[in-house]
A and B are shown apart, each in its own frame.
Chain A
Amino acid sequence: MKRLPVALPACILAFLFGCEHTAEEVELPFKERLVVYGDIEGAVNFERTLPLNTVWNEDSSRLQDVNARIVFQGASFPLRLDSVVRGLYRGYVLPEGADIELQADWRGKKVTARVKKPTRPQIDTLWMSVDSSMVPPTIRCGGTYVATENVAYFASISVRMDTDRFEKGWRFLKGDDGTSGAERIQLAAEFPFQAGATCRVYMIVDAYDRAYYDYHLSEGYGSLPPTSLFSGSIRSNIKGDGIGIVWANSSSSRVIQ
């Protein structure tokens, strides 16, 4: 469904003029590759691709014998296999602005990925008001943060009422292209306020590198099953014999009230 705009004209064409046949003599190709997913500061998952028409399961897909490490400032630090979760390798906490390279090899297949940990986003202003004329009373709140060059931001406003947490007013966008300098981004939200509840309102901004933002855009568009004719995949920052996404993000949060 989500690939509709791409595939539809071709479907129309096929419908108007074409005839579809099953090509039974064609073998499905297979090339085994690594699949990498994770926060380089937290946990990185290693799996392998499977032939088409093979059912995925954790035991057959997750890899326990990957030789993985990060290279930071010329030094190499091995990722440690988690003792509980299959295919999970623990990373390291890194300083803001760090340029990191992930290197991994498994049965002769090598992958690399370059990741930049963005600097912590700057939350600029915060504001809040309560509209008691509404039923129930409504909290209006918001704030601004500063977006800078080539960094993507996930910004959200959350409210915790007693033990429940709600999130609203979120957005995920890329910072400007650097031609006009920093940009102040506004975010606002409304929450119905429950009488008697204790309430805490936050603004949270996570900064990611550009590769993660690209992945976020492609996520969902390339998922199977496509409408039929053509299909895509995720946008990857893995080089070599693999596919996937690794990232490192920095986060800021401020209490509005």
Chain B
Amino acid sequence: MAAHSLLRPLPLLCFLFQATVAAFSSEAKTISGVVTDSTTGEIVAGAQVFLRTTESKEALRRTTTNRLGFYLLANIAAGRYRLVARGYGNAFVERTVVVPDTVADVRFDLQLLPATYELREIVIESERLIGSAPLSLHSISPQVMKSLPSIGGEPDVFRPLQYLPGVKTSSELLGGMHVRGSSPDQNLVLLDGMPLLNPSHFGGLLGVFNPDIVRSVELSKGVLDAMYGGKASSVLNVATKEGSRERIGGSAGLSMLSTRVMLEGPLTENASFIIAGRRLYADLLVPVFTTSTSIPRYYFYDLNAKIRQSFSPTDRLVLSAYVGHDVLTRSRDNDVNFDIDWGNGAAGANWLHTFSPTIIMNVAAVYSKYDFSTRIYSDTSKGYTNWMAKSALSDLQLKTDFEILPGDMSSFKMGGEVVRSRHYAEALDELDFQRRGEMAPRTTHSIDAALYVQAEMQATEALRTVAGLRLNSFADGTFTHLEPRLSVSLALSDAMLLRSSFAIVHQYLHLVTRNELSLPTDLWLRSDKNIQPARTIQTSAGIEMKFFDQDYLLSLDGYFKSSENLFEYRESADAMLGVPTKENLTMGTGEAYGVELLLRKDVGGFNGWLAYTLSWTRRTFDELNGGRPYFAKYDSRHDVSVVASYKASDRWHLSATWTHNSGQPYTLPTGQFVFPPFEGSRYYLDFSERNARRLPAYHKLDIGATYSFTWFDLPFELVANIYNVYNHQNVIARYLKFEGRGWVSSPPKATVKDLTLFPFLPTVGLSCTF
């Protein structure tokens, strides 16, 4: 059924592919090549490539390398040109290229050099907003990630992201990433193309991405590239380094949270490797300070490995793997004990074949898995509890993408994927030796599939469009949806651009969290006949401009999203987290809208950005809040972030971040009652107004300094951070605590409590490269 319905449009897609190839196989001259990093030999995705005459600094043509580091400039007249490329961190190269009359396609690979700021000025004069992709993208370089203040001196991918407009976390901890009013499960997180369901370690303390191997981070908000599906809100694309082709080397880092090591180098002339590991050692430090067994032990580790092999100039194979695990335990010596562990695992093989400079094929096989296991047991005077839940989701994905580059300003993509999904779950809930709930081990399999096409083209000098269509088939064909996606940008001048987008997307995997908090053990549910896929319609429009010699970029975007088939726990659902039955859930709708402002300076010794978001996120469920709309727990009216980075000298780098967020909604009971209403019964709380109250505003300042030095001929970096400089007691949760046993004979006495996290917290970290 699923395969049949998906195969129906296949002849049409094949025809489109052949027609496109034929149409673009003309005699026009092209310059193409691969941009690599001169120090490591790695390919550089997202590098900007400019072509100009030898006499002028004005760019004739402009393009960007694709995820394989490939660029193409088409329809070039014979002549002599200057070719300029710029990558992350202002890495830069400029070369002269000659296009002779007698050659149709000129292959010209570029190797980026670590640039000085003086060299960069040449490029800046050539930058224009014309031709910019209309999709809403934010890129974070590893340099930015490492330069910003962090918790415990440990650089983290998620820290810079949360300072972007439209992006927030629920709280300092317990937070997934919320993009434009979305829940964390609506973000597609990819590590080298491999999906990770839970991209954070415990409570969002750190991301699962080892900072030493991250090559680029790209967040796509709003309308997504048609090659991505199954998620309603955003794509976080994290690419790792491929390993140096030049020499064996690596890096090591030591912070107050963890230790990390990375090793990379060539395997053969045409192959390289990189391997990295990291471990949090909080569990090892606890026994140093106390012999108490009541303190929980927590640690995580993550490992990355990657091998790249080039078989020929047109064929390369990349093997990637990731495994990470979190473990939280408490000794059996205590009244209440637990063993909780969870983690992601992924492995993938990626074969890239270049048919010609204008046609690229990428074939990938990816296995990814997320599992958790929780066991809580107690035997106290208050009663006996035994609670257990296990869940595992795994996907085996085969996908093929074709990318056709008819010109430097146009591209055509098409592809498809088939995914075999497996979902395992079991749960047991015992109270006083009575089984309150039980779910026998249950494994389900299904086949999901998708096809997509997308055309990106420069319709006129000023008008650029990205039009995509994606066809999803989910759960053996139970659900089939067609998703249109359209983005348009119109350049009003070299320095001003309007953009707008529209998309309909469906989500088939739902993370159901309790209203109060998100946990790594929250349940993922696949859509089936009872759990309908979420459907989101989103539109956005914005303006982007550059000024002051194009050193500054200002963007203003507005968005509106409307979702249906969202799921929440029903009011007073029983507490059996491990039993994801439809009886516990209720379905509703949501809407999110807002305005985002970004003022950014990327160039010069002093750079950074200011972001402001004005937003609303509402939910409406018939069975929640009396059917009245309520604010989502991560609704926040005003969010302001300031990020500043200053390179004071060759040795010193300073940075600071300041955030201010409106207080988040929370729920307090609006009364109490005895139920059943007789002597001998218990007190219960009445929650009649969901998320009706607001926490105090959250704000803090973090500062950091990095000192670079050489020791034993090795480059070292000493990082010092101060978290929450002015020691603001940010409340991340407000709740009630009770005295009394809660019976009519022992009435409860409630006190309002605030939970605050990190106070003024100075930390240091040390890293070196070898």
Contact = CB atoms under 8 A, between A and B. Distances in A.
Nearest to B381: A1
Nearest to B622: A239
B742 interface: yes
Contacts of A224: 672, 682-685, 738, 740, 742, 748
A61 B677 contact: yes
Interface string B166-188: 00000001100000000000000
Interface string A150-174: 0000000000000000000000001
A56 B752 CA distance: 20
Of B578, B674, B757, most buried by chain A (CB within 10 Å of CB) is B674
A58 B385 CA distance: 33
A196 B174 CA distance: 65
Contact of A52 (B671, B676, B679): B671
A5 B687 contact: no
A35 to B, nearest CB: 5
B754 interface: yes
A3 interface: yes
B336 to A, nearest CB: 7
Interface string B277-288: 000001000000
B260 to A, nearest CB: 21
B735 A230 contact: yes
Interface in B657-711: 668-677, 679, 682-689, 692-693
A225 B740 contact: yes
B98 interface: no
B741 A17 contact: no
Nearest to B671: A49
A228 B752 CA distance: 10
B668 A19 contact: no
A212 B670 CA distance: 24
B759 A19 contact: yes
B769 to A, nearest CB: 31
Given A9-B521, A18-B756, A232-B685, A53 B735 contact: no
A217 B673 CA distance: 18
Contacts of A29: 668-670, 689, 692-693
Nearest to A210: B583
Contacts of B336: 4, 8
A78 interface: no
Interface in A220-257: 220-226, 228-236, 239-240, 243-244
Contacts of B734: 23, 26
Nearest to A214: B583
Contact of A16 (B296, B626, B693, B731): B296
Contact of A5 (B387, B749, B755, B759): B387
B755 A14 contact: yes
Interface in B429-446: 429, 431, 436-437
Interface stretch (B358-366, B390-398, B568-576, B713-721): B568-576
A4 B683 contact: no
Interface in A35-90: 35, 37, 45, 47-56, 58, 61-62, 87
Nearest to A86: B677
A234 B203 CA distance: 29
A18 B757 contact: yes
Interface in A85-124: 87
A2 interface: yes
A225 B583 contact: no
B203 to A, nearest CB: 5
Contacts of B572: 218, 221-222, 232-236
Contacts of B758: 17
Given A1-B382, A18-B757, A225 B673 contact: no
B269 interface: no
A69 B634 CA distance: 42
Interface string B724-741: 000001011111111111
B517 interface: yes
Contacts of B677: 35, 37, 45, 47, 58, 61-62, 87
Contacts of B521: 9
B747 interface: yes
Given A224-B683, A243-B686, A52 B575 contact: no
A30 B668 CA distance: 10
Given A4-B378, A61-B677, A20 B755 contact: yes
B343 to A, nearest CB: 16
Contact of A6 (B202, B575, B679): B575
Contact of B738 (A13, A174, A225): A225
B444 to A, nearest CB: 15
B223 interface: no
Contacts of B11: none
Nearest to B387: A5
A240 B759 CA distance: 43
Contacts of A230: 514, 516-517, 735
Which of B519, B571, B668, B673 has the most CB atoms of chain A within a 10 A radius of its CB? B673
A33 B688 CA distance: 9
B340 interface: yes
B671 A6 contact: no
B750 A28 contact: yes
A229 B756 contact: no
A223 B738 contact: no
Given A53-B749, A233-B687, A5 B340 contact: no
A23 B735 CA distance: 9
B174 A13 contact: yes
A224 B681 CA distance: 11
Contacts of A174: 583
A143 to B, nearest CB: 21
A34 to B, nearest CB: 10
Interface in B52-104: none
A37 B676 contact: yes
Contact of B431 (A2, A12, A31): A2
Among B173, B672, B733, B736: residue with most chain A CB under 10 A: B672
B750 A52 contact: yes
A19 B689 CA distance: 27
A22 interface: yes
A218 B682 CA distance: 13
A180 B744 CA distance: 44
B383 interface: yes
A204 to B, nearest CB: 20
A30 B674 contact: no
Contact of B296 (A15, A48, A236): A15
Contacts of A220: 431
Given A3-B575, A29-B668, A233-B686, A21 B753 contact: yes
B527 to A, nearest CB: 17
Contacts of A47: 673-674, 677
16 contacts: A8-B338, A13-B173, A13-B203, A21-B729, A21-B753, A24-B752, A32-B671, A52-B669, A56-B683, A214-B570, A218-B574, A222-B685, A229-B735, A231-B669, A232-B573, A232-B685
